[in-house]
Amino acid sequence: MTARYVLTSACLTSGTMNLTQSLRVFLQGRDKIVLRDEDGETYDACVNWQHNRLEGLAPYYAKRRLGVNDKIALHLEGGEIGLEALTPSAKPARPRSTESERPRPQPAEPLPEKPEKRVKVTPYPKEVIFPHKPATSEVPAFSADLEVLGFSRESSSAPWVFRAAMGRRTFHLALAKFGEMEAKELLSYRQQGRVQYAAIVVGESSKAEALAEIATVRPSGLLQVGLGYVSPEALQRLAKLRSAFPVGPLDIERLLREGRIDLEAIQGLENEISKVLHERGHFSAVLTLLADQRPQQVFLLADLMPMAREMNLEADHLQEVLQSLSSPPFLLLKRLSPGEFLMRQSVEQALADWAEYAQVMSRRLQGVLQDW
């Protein structure tokens, strides 16, 4: 199977590659992988599932002299990943030579000039928009949290612009740390249509100062101003939350529309996720109850209720899960009448069948990705 990957500045800076859908399927269950380049040279890479990225690509990026927007073909075969730079300007490093083979320098001959490297520029160069700011600066810590949440960084200085690509929907977010640039300047970036959202990044203890700064632009409220604030503490918690539930850019956008992302604002999202995880727990509890039922045995909802109450399961929760288990793709039960079910097979056998179904679908998806 072959996939393509487009490099971002974040990838080049950290020597990493985000885990795309094809990479996640291929690397499932692995923590380490061997990378092999066009010359047969191998690199040991680590799969960082927590940060959703493949680490250890810095030597290859340096060897091929890759830049932003350069493309790499990934050949996902066997126990390793083949790397192939698709950008014509990418060149391999000069081959090594032994001391005896190395020619002695000739003083009379000038050293050859380095080939000019082609550089791609964005439609709005930072030097033109913000001439008083340096071309590059240290990448802020919140950038890593946003990348975990599905964003890609597209700038190398303030304002820090992040892109959320969601298929048919895409939006850009401009951020600047409190005091890094004036609120009016950051707001103009949004008003000119370059981004859909703009916000000041400020710690939880300094939110009042940030609100005062926003009020100097237009004292009519966050939603009317179009400039909000984001706390790094909230982003850190959302990034950690993603390890238990797939939080993504759409959830972040909903918070941005409200004008703030802080610990108080994300409580509602945390409550929603907690409810979903609680329902997943109900599903597991009902499977535990059904494990005592024999195949082809008829039982009533009332037969399960005494044990269900001990597991803090209400009758409506039990009924909903039993109904789901009677429908595709589970088909563990057959509903005979209201409150009456037939146990088609054992829970153990059903779990094995579901696992096989998941593996078949995974192989089918790999075939689709390969054709693509």
Sign of CA dihedral 230, 233, 239, 244: negative
| Segment 265-273 long-range contacts (CB within 8 Å, at least 24 positions apart) | 265/234, 266/234, 266/237, 266/238, 269/238, 270/237, 270/241, 273/241, 273/244, 273/245, 273/247
How do residues 284-305 score in pLDDT, each as one tens digit? 889 988 998 999 999 999 999 9
Q: Same domain for 64 and 177?
A: no
Pairing of strands 53-55, 42-48: antiparallel
State the Cα–Cα distance between residues 158 and 174, nearest whole angstrom. 8
The answer to the question of residue 16 being in a domain is: yes
Residues 228 and 151 reside in one and the same domain: yes
Looking at residue 102, what DSSP letter applies?
S
Residue 206 lies in a domain: yes
**23 pLDDT band (50/70/90 cuts)?**
confident
Which of residues 91 and 347 earns the better pLDDT score? 347
**Mean of the pLDDT values across residues 165-174?**
91
Q: What is the CATH number of the domain that holds 162?
A: 3.40.91
133 shares a domain with 227? yes
- pLDDT > 80? residue 341: yes
With a pLDDT cut of 70, the percent of the chain lying above it is 82
Place of tokens 């499932």: 28
The separation between CA 73 and the C-alpha centre of its own chain, rounded to angstroms, equals: 20
Q: 294 and 312: one domain? A: yes
Q: Of 210, 237, 265, which one is at a domain's C-terminal end?
A: 265
Mean pLDDT, rounded, for 81-109? 58
Q: What's residue 314's pLDDT?
A: 85
Mean pLDDT across 328-336: 91
Q: Say if strands 42-48 and 32-36 run parallel, antiparallel, or are unpaired.
A: antiparallel
Give the lowest-confidence range in 13-17, 51-55, 118-122, 193-197. 118-122
| ∠ Cα 146 365 163 (to 5°) | 20
99, 104, 109, 115: CA torsion to nearest 10 = -10
Cβ count near 296 (within 10 Å): 10
Number of domains in the chain: 3
Q: What is the per-residue pLDDT across 308-322, written as a single tens digit (0 to 9) for each?
A: 888 888 888 899 899
Q: Are residues 324 and 247 in the same domain?
A: no
Residues β-bridged to residue 199 = 175, 228
Is 280's pLDDT higher than 80?
A: no
Shared-domain flag, residues 293 and 207 = no
Q: Is residue 121 part of a domain?
A: no
Q: What is the pLDDT of residues 221-231, one digit of tens each?
A: 444 447 889 99
- The pLDDT, as a whole number, for residue 112 is 53
DSSP 227-279: -EEE-HHHHHHHHHHTTTS---HHHHHHHHHTTEESTTTTHHHHHHHHHHHHH
Domain identity same for 9 and 27:
yes
3-state helix, strand, coil in the chain (%, to 5): 40, 20, 40
pLDDT cut 90: percent of the chain above it: 30
Q: What pLDDT score was predicted for residue 27?
A: 82
Same structural domain for residues 190 and 132? yes
Query: By residue range, what is the domain housing residue 278?
Result: 272-371
Average pLDDT over residues 243-253: 88
Q: Which residues contact 4 (CB under 8 A, 6 or more apart)?
A: 71, 72, 73, 74, 86
Same domain, 246 and 341: no
- Residue 226: which of 202, 206, 196, 255 has the closest Cα? 196
Q: What is the mean pLDDT of residues 147-176?
A: 92
> Is the pLDDT confidence value at 105 over 70?
no
Q: In what order do the strands lie in the sheet with 160-166?
A: 152-153, 160-166, 169-177, 197-201, 228-230, 260-261
The CATH number of whichever domain residue 335 belongs to comes to 1.10.10.10
Query: Once rounded to an integer, what is the mean pLDDT over residues 69-79?
Result: 81
Structure confidence at residue 31 (pLDDT): 86
Residues 243-264, mean pLDDT to the nearest whole number: 90
Residues 149 and 210 in one domain: yes
Residues 247 and 281 in one domain: no
